[in-house]
């Protein structure tokens, strides 16, 4: 096998391949190159009758491997899994071989789904894994024994009948607190509309006659009753949660914690709040977090697949969203500043009092509303330069919003395909 025209026969997976020994010597140190050595027949599976080496490997992929020795360009079939291709290359000792650009792009697009598959599945059973780890520590205290049961009752409505009943009771309290919040807003508005007036543009609230703000007693009692239940529920969930750091990082849990404070503050400052109506307004503002509790309704129903896909898509493009917000902030400052000075320089000094803004902050507000194509119309340009800036701001705003949409659609399509594949795998396992 020393001549340049000496041939060698390889039987790979039942398919016979015949090539020159000089072709196999293209990449020294590889398995195929060592087949050209004199002692190869004693090392590998060699048939002296048919004069061929046999390898029980993929015949399809070996054709591309052999073509790599001939052309020094590695290609692969369109329906190849990356892991299988890497395994074959490792067997033939070609792990360092680089795919041709055409096949690399094709294989990367095909294998992008398994990466998203892993991301999609990594947090699905995170809480259960934490509980399993704690049970493996052989902690036989009463808390360790009851933690999985109590956590499932409060956090997983469909885990048992008692969990379903508790979820329904919690839902009734949530609906009740929202109704109480709406009634309180009506009472606050009626009180401030009757007893207070706003003078000029100074935003100073002055009382028209002597009166003190006081919440309706029955509303306060009902709210205290609901908040006591929420306090008990939050305490139990926090005490028995598997991962307290993850629990506190959840925005809904933070909202639950903040929603406990307004009614307690109002109880401890009952004497002062009557003389400080602004404090009542601030407490009412904090009570808006009650509305976040309505999101817990999704726990009582099976979240639609498309909503779960949407949440993972938003998490995957958080970097792009931050870049978009930074671009929008720059455009707001840029167009707002141009609009401010353009209007001041373009209008006659005697008419500057007719401008619809008093400082540059209001111009930033105008720029943001224009860039997002909302256009309330409370501030309009009066000069030609200002109108040109308004047109450019609207155009750049539309481009800023439209350009990221394809990125979102591509990510959403990948996650949705992954979710469908995952569901089909679960159904096949059950069957």
Q: Which two tokens stand for residue 20?
A: 């020159």
Q: Tell me the average pLDDT of the chain.
A: 77
Q: Token pair of 100, please?
A: 């041709």
Domain membership of residue 66 (yes or no) is yes
Whether residue 285 sits in one domain with residue 146: yes
Spatial CA neighbour of 41 closest among 4, 9, 73, 17:
9
Phi, psi of 102 (to 5 degrees): -65, -45
Q: How confident is the model at residue 200 (pLDDT cuts 50, 70, 90)?
A: very low
356 and 313 in a common domain: yes
Enclosing domain of residue 47: 7-108
What length is written for the chain?
A: 431
255 within some domain: yes
- Asked which of 302, 320, 348 is the last residue of a domain, the reply is 302
Helix (H, G, I), strand (E, B) or coil at 373: coil
Among 61, 87, 108, the domain boundary falls at 108
pLDDT recorded at residue 1? 44
Angle ∠(362,329,342) on CA atoms, nearest 5: 45
Q: Residue 289 and residue 259: Cα distance in Å, rounded?
A: 6
Both 222 and 160 in one domain: the answer is yes
Quick one: pLDDT at residue 208?
Answer: 47
Contact 219/266 with Cβ under 8 angstroms?
no
DSSP one-letter string for 348-407: -GGGGGGSS-SSHHHHHHHHHHHHTT---SSS---SHHHHHHHHHHHHHHHHHHHTTHHH
pLDDT reported for residue 130: 54
Domain CATH number, residue 49: 3.30.710.10
* Candidate from 28-42, 84-98, 280-294 with smallest mean pLDDT: 280-294
Give the count of domains, the chain.
Answer: 3
Same domain, 145 and 281: yes
DSSP at 216: -
Domain containing residue 389: CATH number: 1.10.287.70
The confidence band for 118, taking pLDDT boundaries of 50, 70 and 90, is low
Can you tell me the distance from the alpha carbon of 167 to that of 27, in angstroms, rounded to the nearest whole number?
67
- Does 260 share its domain with 403? no
| 130: in domain | no
Q: Sheet harboring 7-12: ordered strands across?
A: 15-20, 7-12, 52-55, 46-47
- Does the structure show a pLDDT above 70 at 48? yes
Write down which residue in 269, 285, 302 finishes a domain: 302
Q: What is the pLDDT of residue 350?
A: 55
SS3 state at 204: strand
Same domain, 155 and 176: yes
In a domain, 278, yes or no: yes
Does 168 share its domain with 221? yes
Strand partners, 9: 18
Separation CA 97–CA 107 (nearest Å): 15
DSSP state string for 243-306: -HHHHHH-HHHHHHHHTTHHHHHHHHTHHHHTT-HHHHHHHHHHGGGGGGGGGGHHHHSPPPHH
Contact (CB, 8 A) for 237 and 155 = yes
Alpha-carbon gap, residue 269 to 276, rounded angstroms: 10
- Sign of the Cα torsion 267, 273, 278, 279 reads negative
Q: Tell whether pTM > 0.75.
A: no
Structural tokens at position 107? 């294989």
Model pLDDT for residues 61-73, shown as the tens digit of each residue: 898 899 899 888 8
pLDDT more than 70, % of the chain: 75
């Amino acid at each position: 096998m020393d001549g340049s025209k000496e041939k060698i026969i390889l039987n790979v997976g039942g398919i016979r391949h015949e090539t020159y020994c000089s072709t196999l010597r293209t990449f020294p140190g590889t398995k195929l190159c060592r087949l050209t050595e004199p002692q190869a027949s004693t090392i590998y599976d060699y048939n002296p009758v048919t004069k061929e080496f046999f390898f029980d490997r993929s015949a399809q992929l070996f054709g591309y491997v052999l073509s790599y020795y001939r052309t020094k360009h590695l290609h692969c079939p369109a329906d190849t899994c990356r892991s299988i291709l890497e395994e074959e290359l490792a067997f033939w000792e070609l792990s360092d071989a680089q795919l041709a650009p055409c096949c690399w792009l094709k294989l990367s697009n095909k294998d992008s789904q398994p990466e998203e598959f892993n991301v999609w599945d990594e947090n699905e059973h995170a809480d259960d894994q934490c509980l399993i780890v704690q049970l493996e520590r052989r902690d036989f205290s009463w808390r360790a024994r009851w933690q999985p049961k109590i956590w499932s009752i409060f956090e997983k409505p469909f885990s048992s009948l008692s969990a379903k009943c508790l979820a329904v009771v919690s839902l009734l309290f949530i609906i009740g607190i929202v109704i109480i919040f709406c009634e309180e807003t009506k009472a606050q508005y009626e009180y401030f509309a009757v007893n207070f007036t706003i003078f000029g543009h100074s935003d100073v609230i002055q009382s028209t006659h002597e009166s003190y703000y006081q919440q309706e007693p029955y509303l306060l009692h009902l709210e205290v009753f609901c908040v006591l239940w929420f306090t008990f529920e939050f305490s139990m969930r926090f005490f028995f949660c598997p991962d307290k750091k993850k629990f506190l990082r959840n925005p809904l849990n933070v909202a639950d914690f903040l929603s406990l404070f307004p009614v307690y503050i109002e109880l401890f400052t009952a004497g002062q709040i009557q003389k400080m109506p602004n404090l009542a307004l601030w407490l009412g503002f904090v009570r808006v977090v009650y509305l976040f509790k309505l999101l817990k309704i999704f726990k009582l129903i099976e979240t639609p697949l498309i909503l779960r896909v949407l949440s993972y898509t938003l998490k995957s493009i958080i970097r792009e969203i931050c870049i978009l917000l930074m671009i929008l902030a720059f455009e707001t400052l840029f167009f707002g500043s141009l609009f401010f000075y353009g209007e001041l320089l373009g209008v006659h000094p005697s008419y500057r009092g007719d401008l619809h803004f008093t400082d540059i902050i209001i111009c930033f507000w105008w720029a943001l509303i224009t860039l997002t194509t909302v256009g309330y119309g409370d501030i309009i340009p009066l000069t030609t330069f200002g109108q040109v800036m308004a047109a450019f701001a609207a155009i750049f705003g539309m481009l800023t919003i439209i350009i990221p949409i394809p990125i979102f659609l591509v990510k959403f399509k990948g996650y949705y395909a992954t979710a469908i594949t995952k569901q089909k795998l679960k159904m096949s396992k059950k069957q």
